[in-house]
Amino acid sequence: MHGMTLTQKILAAHAGLDKVEPGQLIMANVDLVLGNDVTAPVAIQEFRRMGASKVFDRKKIALVPDHFTPNKDIKSAEQCKIVREFAYEMGIENYFEVGQMGIEHALIPEKGLVVPGDLVIGADSHTCTYGALGAFSTGVGSTDMAAAMATGQAWFKVPEAIKFVLKGQLKKWVSGKDVILQIIGMIGVDGALYKSMEFTGEGLASLSMDDRFTIANMAIEAGAKNGIFDVDEKTLEYVKVHSKRDFKIYKADEDAAYSKVLEIDLSNIPLTVAFPHLPSNIRTFDEISDIPIDQVVIGSCTNGRLSDLRVAAQIMKGHKVHPRVRAIVIPATQKIYLEAMKEGLLEIFIEAGAVVSTPTCGPCLGGHMGILAKGERAVATTNRNFVGRMGHVESEVYIASPAVAAASAITGKISSPEEVMK
């Protein structure tokens, strides 16, 4: 007999079992059910079809209209109205209206709605972001969301795990975004299919919470069920600031079984760009020639946090956005927007010739606020670059860190920060 991984321990605890095995089907209690303006309306329709009349817990559901908001057209206005009316009718405490809201996966941790040891499901594939806090967190379909809103439970197949042992620390300008792009490049977009990606090792201490959120956020881009980090001092510090809830810290057993163990030396991670049309199609700057671009997007649930904006501002300060480039900066939450304003970051962006938007997922999923025309190229701090992701099927998205995106906005081509900060 072998022990359990971190993910397996959380699942077992929430299923009321002493032990779970990979492949086992379980029913587990959830601590939070999340939906947005695209996925919640479908869930609400299913919820009513089930004949449910009330939600299992008004505190444990979060509804965040962030994709097509502020309403971009009549259809998105209708979607948001369904969510809003449901939230009022059910007395849901964590409904975040425009003006309160942010991009869900930046907002939920900021509001302290997830703590270590939680089991969270969300009708959005990037729900895996909260694994940075040592919680089990994964994306589900709208029907699963509906059932969980009614019952407080969801079914899971217990995943195997890949263990990533981190050591060393990142070089200047290199970030969590580069780490996860390198990992996806190494294992492929289905390299962790239905597995948990578990991050541990002494290198963890050098990664900021924002770096961890970015890494966990893109676990899904390797096909993973979830990404999860060991809880350490930095996690506890973050939780203390953001949440008043009690929590439980789980640790993987020493004798837990992993499908593979990979060692990652953070000091060897280079600045990395994912070329079209897959997050795994990675290149480093020794392989990148002059590629002119039309647009830069700095934001999203992957890289719209304060530290991301600080890095971008540091590079853009005193420079001008290239005349042929449209640079769009989207702070991920109202709080981040306000702090960026107080720190003078927004002023730097606007003086450089970038546009700053209210929090929204915006162009990341081809929604609004920066859609690409045929043949256009964008460097974006988002998480996906599939065909047509940000607009026309013949447009191209290059995924990079805020440092690379900011530098590229200034030079008008895919560039490293060193090229600007000479």
Sorted by where each begins, the domain ranges of the chain are 6-266, 273-419
Question: Across all residues in the chain, what is the average pLDDT?
Answer: 96
CATH number of the domain located at residue range(s) 6-266 in this protein = 3.30.499.10
pLDDT at 74: 97
Residue 361 has pLDDT above 80, yes or no: yes
Evaluate if residue 47 carries a pLDDT over 80: yes
CA distance 326 to 305: 20
Equal fold, 6-266 vs 273-419: yes
Look at residue 214 in the predicted model and tell me its pLDDT.
97
CA dist., res. 377 & res. 89, Å (int): 44
- For the domain spanning 273-419, the CATH number is 3.30.499.10
Three-state DSSP state, 312: helix
d(Cα 110, Cα 99) in Å, to the nearest integer? 15
Average pLDDT score over residue span 85-101: 95
Rounded Cα gap, residues 159 and 7, in angstroms: 8
258-312 pLDDT, tens digit each: 999 999 999 999 999 999 999 999 999 999 999 999 999 999 999 999 999 999 9
Q: Quote helix, strand, coil % in the chain, to nearest 5.
A: 40, 20, 40
Q: Is the pLDDT of residue 125 over 80?
A: yes
User: For residue 362, which of 279, 274, 301, 316 has the smallest C-alpha distance?
Assistant: 301
DSSP-based three-state secondary structure for 151: helix
SS3 letters across 343-412: CCHHHHHHHHCCEECCCCCHHHHCCCCCCECCCCEEEECCCCCCCCCCECCCCEEEECCHHHHHHHHHHC
What does the alpha-carbon distance between residue 96 and residue 120 come to, in Å, rounded to a whole number? Answer: 18
DSSP 21: -
Annotated binding site for [4Fe-4S] cluster: 301, 361, 364
pLDDT of residue 1: 74
Q: Please give the annotated binding residues, written as ranges.
A: 301, 361, 364
Q: Note the pLDDT of residue 15.
A: 98
Distance CA(360)–CA(300), nearest Å, equals 8
Q: Which pLDDT score, from 0 to 100, does residue 387 have?
A: 86
**pLDDT surpasses 80 at 422:** no
